[in-house]
Amino acid sequence: MPLTATAPNHFKYALAKKMVDLFADTIRAILVRNGFVFNKDNHAVLANLKGYLAAQTISINGSFEIDDAGSGFLAAGFVPGNSIEMSGWTNEGNNTTKVVNTVTAGKITVTDTTGLVTEAAGNMITISGEDELPAGNGYLEYGVEVTGKSVTENDADDRMEFACANIDFSASGGSVGPTPGAILYDDTVAEKTILGYLDFDGNQTIADGNKLRLQNVRIRIS
């Protein structure tokens, strides 16, 4: 299975600021949900996949936009394309999962407003990003730790190269997926910097008792 790899722009910044140490830091790999689309500008840190906000200042207006009088959406990490799960609303139709279309500090619009109804602020509303594949059947939240890391200087090709051992995701008790790709991120840095996205060129499902193996994973900077 050929992979297409994309590094977020923020990763380059984090390297320049000496925030990330590819050899010494703990690197983890996670699988993303069906329908996920990576954006090298928006997906900078883990919170951009797993944003979280709980507040009593959140409401749904007459245009079925989600408002936050506390202006906390951007600080919580939400970005366009997030799958978000909402709970705490009095109107059960609002306790649902939607995909973010646009986001500012105080407003989220979603791609499909079906089922949403107007509701004033007051309840403790929880909104959480759900772009990682759900845990279960052998897949654990926050995925797997990358092992066998090395960083080498390649003078022949004029580049630095990060390499690691095979990355395995196993299914047990049922299938895992479908998933269109994997994210590598730095688990040591406080912001959990995303290092790159490995696109599987189509959804992959791991059958019960089998594994998905990512081989020859490399990060090259020239």
Burial class (CB in 10 A: 0-12, 13-18, 19+), 152: exposed
User: Do 156 and 120 sit in the same domain of this protein?
Assistant: no
Instruction: Note down the domain range covering 24.
Output: 4-46+134-221
The verdict on 41 and 139 lying in the same domain is: yes
Query: Cα(132)–Cα(189) distance, rounded to whole angstroms?
Result: 19
End-to-end CA, the chain: 25
Q: How far apart are CA 147 and CA 27, in angstroms?
A: 8
Q: 190 and 142 in one domain? A: yes
| Domain-ending residue, one of 81, 104, 129 | 129
Domain CATH for 85: 2.40.30
One domain for residues 166 and 208: yes
**Per-position DSSP letters for the chain, written without gaps between them:** ---EEE--HHHHHHHHTT---TTTS-EEEEEB-TT----TTT--BGGGTS-EEEESSEEE-TTS-EEETT--TTTTT--TT-EEEEE--SSGGGSSEEEEEEE-SSEEEES--TT---B-S-S-EEEEE--BPPPBTTB-TT-EE--S-EEEEETTTTEEEEE---EEEE--SS-EEEEEEEEEEESSSTT-BEEEEEEEEEEEEE-TT-EEEE-S-EEEE-
Q: What is the pLDDT of residues 181-206, one digit of tens each?
A: 999 999 999 999 999 999 999 999 99
**Mind listing the pLDDT tens digit of every residue in the chain (222 residues)?**
557 789 999 999 999 999 999 999 999 999 999 999 999 999 999 999 999 999 999 999 999 999 999 999 999 999 999 999 999 999 999 999 999 999 999 999 999 999 999 999 999 999 999 999 999 999 999 999 999 999 999 999 899 899 999 999 999 999 999 999 999 999 999 999 999 999 999 999 999 999 999 999 988 888
Q: Are residues 110 and 33 in the same domain?
A: no
- pLDDT tens, residue by residue, 150-176: 999 999 989 989 999 999 999 999 999
